[in-house]
């Protein structure tokens, strides 16, 4: 059955590829981007099955207006794909206030407001699905990505709570957690100015690894990642968290196992407090 998708951040990367694949199979797509031009070729190829909107997800009034207009124009939207976002790279002390504010507004608050804007429409039409782009960094943390992690860990907590709130309305959620993927993520990193005090720390090591191309050198194929995302969104009972790629699986499994070991080591002290 033909579906209608609302996808943010479609000028390149996973968002662009996702729009292409869905249009090729006959679906309808509302695609948002911040500048004119990147989707002209798809508009010529697919005509009125592709609706392009210019949208900055940090403009929350525009988010609500565009979501309402999209539901009215399309009649129904089956899947919201919260894909717009980018990475902020640098030790926490190196980051500027403006960088932090922009990262949170784009990756976290923008995604929250898009979901909130869709909820009343999903309820009225009897259901819907949200495919929220998180990352391995939604469950794992690396030096120099502190605020990026704050946004991804934050949106995972938000989605997990809202999924419980709205399950009775036929609304469900998928948190997509890709690892390093062959996209332009690294090219688009917003980088802080390095402080020499951090040169001999894990932050400095990470910075040098990125500069030498050695960090996260193994990258998953973007086409495979998109195919798995579409399959999950099509499935009747998708997982809340969709781990994408071998490296993502390895890092998340290792991190969660270590965290669980740490929690279990505290079982006896925690129980003894109740006995006191």
| Sequence spans of domains, the chain | 4-275
C-alpha angle with apex 55: 98 to 102, nearest 5 degrees?
Answer: 10
Q: What is the mean pLDDT of residues 8-34?
A: 95
Domain 4-275 top-level CATH class: alpha beta
Q: Which pLDDT tens digit goes with each residue over 208-262?
A: 988 876 555 557 788 999 999 999 999 999 999 999 999 999 999 999 999 999 9
pTM: 0.93
Alpha-helix runs per DSSP H in 8-105: 13-24, 40-46, 60-74, 97-103
Q: Which residues have CB under 8 Å from 49's CB, separation 6+? A: 23, 26, 27, 28, 29
Residue-level pLDDT at 10: 94
Round to whole Å and give the CA distance between 228 and 243. Answer: 10
Q: Is residue 132 scored above 90 in pLDDT? A: yes
Residues 51-87 pLDDT 10s: 999 999 999 999 999 999 999 999 999 999 999 999 9
pLDDT of the residue at 2: 92
Question: Structure tokens of 114?
Answer: 């898009």
192: DSSP letter: P
Mean model confidence pLDDT for the chain: 93
| pLDDT in the model for residue 216 | 56
Tell me the mean pLDDT in the region 147-173: 98
Q: What's the confidence (pLDDT) of residue 188?
A: 75
For residue 264, the number of C-alpha atoms closer than 13 Å in the C-beta half-sphere is: 6
Give yes or no for a contact between 131 and 233, defined as CB atoms under 8 angstroms apart. yes
Catalytic residues: 134, 148, 152
Indicate the pLDDT class of residue 127, thresholds 50, 70 and 90: very high
């Amino acid at each position: 059955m033909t579906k209608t998708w609302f996808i943010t951040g479609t000028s390149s990367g996973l968002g662009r590829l996702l729009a292409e694949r869905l249009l090729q199979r006959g679906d309808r797509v509302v695609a948002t981007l911040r500048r004119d031009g990147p989707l002209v070729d798809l508009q010529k190829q697919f005509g009125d099955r592709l609706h392009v909107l210019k949208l900055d997800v940090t403009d929350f009034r525009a988010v609500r207006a565009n979501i309402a207009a999209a539901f009215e124009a399309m009649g129904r939207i089956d899947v919201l794909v919260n894909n717009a976002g980018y990475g902020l790279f640098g030790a926490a002390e190196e980051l500027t206030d403006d960088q932090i504010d922009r990262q949170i507004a784009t990756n976290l608050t923008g995604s929250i407001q898009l979901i909130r804007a869709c909820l009343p429409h999903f309820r009225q039409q009897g259901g819907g699905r949200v495919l929220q782009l998180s990352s391995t960094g939604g469950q794992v943390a690396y030096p120099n990505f502190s605020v990026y992690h704050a946004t991804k860990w934050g949106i995972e907590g938000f989605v997990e709570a809202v999924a419980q709130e709205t399950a009775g309305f036929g609304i469900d959620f998928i948190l997509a957690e890709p690892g390093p993927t062959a996209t332009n993520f690294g090219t688009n990193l917003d980088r802080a100015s390095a402080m020499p005090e951090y040169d001999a720390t894990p932050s400095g090591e990470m910075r040098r690894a990125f500069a030498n191309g050695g960090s996260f050198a193994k990258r998953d194929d973007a086409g495979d990642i998109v195919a798995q995302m579409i399959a999950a969104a099509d499935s009747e009972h998708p997982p809340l968290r969709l781990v994408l790629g071998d490296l993502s699986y390895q890092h998340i499994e290792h991190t969660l196992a270590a965290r669980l070991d740490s929690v279990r080591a505290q079982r006896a002290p925690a129980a003894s407090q109740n006995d006191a």
